[in-house]
Structure 1
């Protein structure tokens, strides 16, 4: 790939890391915020849920803008929402401010997630497309790790508000990069249409070291309001529903285990610090394991790698419920869970990028991610309900492993699509 393409992928990875930093900062700051503002756990739960709700709404309802107005404009809009929401969080004085600011931040993150993945697929050449999408999405767990490091240093020294000021400052840097340098993709240029389409295409091709010539039939009118209708056609609806079901089932299992690992470890008599060690091991192994799975794709094929990672996720969650609760064993299991869950997730995004036609790619990915957000909210809640009904770790983990295994079965049965 040309240098411009590689740098564009790097910029998208940095934006995904910013998402991770932004999302996880509130989880680290929540205990301090609760004490400072004298709000209870139920209210903090509303603050955390507001971001998830915003992400779902952004993915479902704002992502189609990228199929109408090109990729860069919605990307800029999502960055502005994230910056504004994060600044509002830093200045929050009450519960209303916190809920409103996290909702706005979530809208930005949800929209960005649906735009970044099509852009990654469209910047890369056919040979590097899958690994490019996977690498971009590895930014999220990397950002979570950075968020934890910054929180451990900044919150005791400068207070929790400083963490969000830093996040908003980094967002402004990314906004400048997108505004001044990041190119539109070819699909984005075509979706915008207009008399300057040929000129914009030639300029992009020149930047990427390609011949500045495009066939006249490649320049088509703007796809305004057509992307959603395209997803509902008989040719596209089955693939859209199947992708949404797989994503929902996988995120249900994934967020159960990611949310409950610290509580399960402390519930077994280990300290909070030891639980944090296991959670950190899970995050680091997620980045490393996700990278390993991504680099296996050219050798084994995307679908095989995703099925292996999703199946391993289900098995790892089930094993977490039956292994002895000794700390070394739990840390080892956390490493396995982190590698398999992130390995599955980042490569599922690569499948999504192949699954939808270019003119409806952002809408399709946004819809699937939006449905997946409901799984991310339901997973921890369903686990909590099962524990509250008196079920033990073994039974709950076996039950919560089933959605991931069912997702693997669905992946086996569907035909892999490969839109350019």
Structure 2
């Protein structure tokens, strides 16, 4: 297997394990709330604390990966995330669950950006979109894997056993460390004394070094926030919305979830090729506008087939764009700060966008599904406007992706 394929396999597997771990909380939430006798709001804090951990881990490990190497730090993030997941299974209080999920979040937050940086540095610019899409579908594989494991483990062994599966990524980390060489582009940068000296100035500061770079960084954070807010708002609340508004059973809403996830996977793979062929501005522009229309119109869908097909279309456009962020951010920042930029920007989006379900819940409580979908459609319109402000010369070293 050549180096390019190895980077994709390693990054896909890492994101699959991360996606699986995050979904474990969703499937085990009812049991955790019941065991520790806490209310729904307290249970919901588990996800928020995990997202905050991701932000911290993204910044810290992004900087370390730019300084000490992608592969070395990547393995540490996977091990830390595995430890946090396994420890969750022995928590004796909700406070311990918070602490262990924060630890798992730190590891997961570091893993994403480093994996994306590895892929960006291994693949040629005209194929980075599709390579990024191959990695991004890992999160959906994780959702499916979590669903299967939860169906098998939860009824028989309980929620604690589910999190003990968290030791598996440790094995994966050792395999990666043994079989994957360091990024050639990063190694070349380290040999350049001038580049090294520049890197020592402080990578996080470099994301806000000039007004234009600051504007670009903040614009990308807004786009990442919309991406996460839209995804969380749809996947967490839509099954409940459909159960209430359309009278669907739980099993029917589960079928909707699978249909939407399949649409997301196809959308990611399609978006990657769109990105390579037409560039980021056109690809993101088309998918953002299509997402706004698809989400808004979905509020008027009726009938089983309409809901299933509509869900797949919404998933295709709204989460298809997830595949492009690694390539987009990687193209806008040089190798010296690429991992820091990817992790910081996307995990800021995770931390902020992770609160979207709270707002969607408030809208549903005060209004109805149509208003909630209008809110989500509005988010995609905001992201479209922001995307149109990005220019090829934003950082003075931008690839042809824009």
Q: 1:46 to 1:379 in 2, by over 3 A?
A: closer
Structure 1 vs Structure 2 CA RMSD: 2.2
Alpha-carbon distance in 1 for matches of 2:220, 2:17: 26
1:342 aligns with 2:287: no
Which position in structure 2 is the counterpart of 1:212? none
TM-score by length of 1: 0.87
Q: Is contact 1:243-1:368 (8 Å) kept?
A: yes
Q: 2:118 corresponds to which residue?
A: 119
1:282 matched to 2:263? The reply is: no
Deviation at 1:161, TM superposition (A): 2.3
The residue that corresponds to 2:343 in the other structure is 366
**Aligned residue number for residue 299 of structure 1:** 277
Contact 2:264/2:316 (CA < 8 Å) preserved in 1? Answer: yes
For residues 127 and 80 of structure 1, the distance between their equivalents in structure 2, rounded to whole angstroms, comes to: 33
Deviation at 1:218, TM superposition (A): 8.6
1:239 aligns with 2:239: no
> Is the alpha carbon distance of 1:384 and 1:20 closer, same or farther for their aligned partners in structure 2, counting shifts above 3 Å?
same
Offset at residue 190 of structure 1 (A): 4.6
Deviation by residue 1:17-49 (Cα, 9 ceiling, x = unmatched):
111111111111111222334333233212222
Aligned to 2:126, the other structure's residue is in SS state helix
Give yes or no for the alignment of 1:259 onto 2:236.
yes
Alpha-carbon distance between aligned partners in 2 of 1:230 and 1:320, rounded to the nearest angstrom: 42
Name the CA distance, whole Å, in 2 between partners of 1:127 and 1:294.
10
Distance 2:347 2:201 in 1: 19
1:221 to partner: Cα distance? 4.7
Q: Supply the distance in 1 between the matched residues of 2:400 and 2:61 (Cα, whole angstroms).
A: 22
2:288–2:381 Cα contact (<8 Å) kept? yes
Residue in structure 1 matched with residue 35 of structure 2 by the alignment:
36
> Would the aligned equivalents of 1:5 and 1:123 in 2 still touch at CA under 8 Å?
yes
Shift of 1:139: 0.7
Distance 2:197 2:87 in 1: 39
CA contact (8 A) 1:190 1:220 kept: no
- For 1:9-408, list aligned pairs within 5 A: 9-169=8-168, 171-190=169-188, 193=190, 220-221=196-197, 223-234=199-210, 236-268=213-245, 269-324=247-302, 326-388=303-365, 390-408=366-384
**Contact 2:69 2:186 (C-alpha < 8 Å) held by counterparts:** yes
In structure 1, the gaps of 5 or more residues are 198-215
Greater alpha carbon shift after TM alignment, 218-227 vs 348-357? 218-227
The separation in 1 between residues aligned to 2:324 and 2:338, in whole angstroms, is: 16
Q: CA offset at residue 85 of structure 1?
A: 0.3
Deviation at 1:358, TM superposition (A): 1.3
Larger Rg: 1
TM-score (norm 2): 0.91
Match of 1:418 in 2: 399
CA distance in 2, matches of 1:36, 1:378: 25
**Cα distance in 1 between the residues matched to 2:306 and 2:108:** 35
Corresponding pairs, count: 394
Q: Deviations over 1:42-64 (max 9, x none)?
A: 33212222211211222234422
Question: 1:419 and 1:110, CA in 2 relative to 1: closer, same or farther beyond 3 A?
Answer: farther
Is the 2:136–2:323 Cα contact (8 Å) retained in structure 1? yes
Q: CA deviation at 1:222?
A: 7.4
Return the offset for 1:220: 4.5
Check conservation: 1:290, 1:344, Cα contact below 8 A: yes
1:398 is displaced (CA, Å) by: 1.0
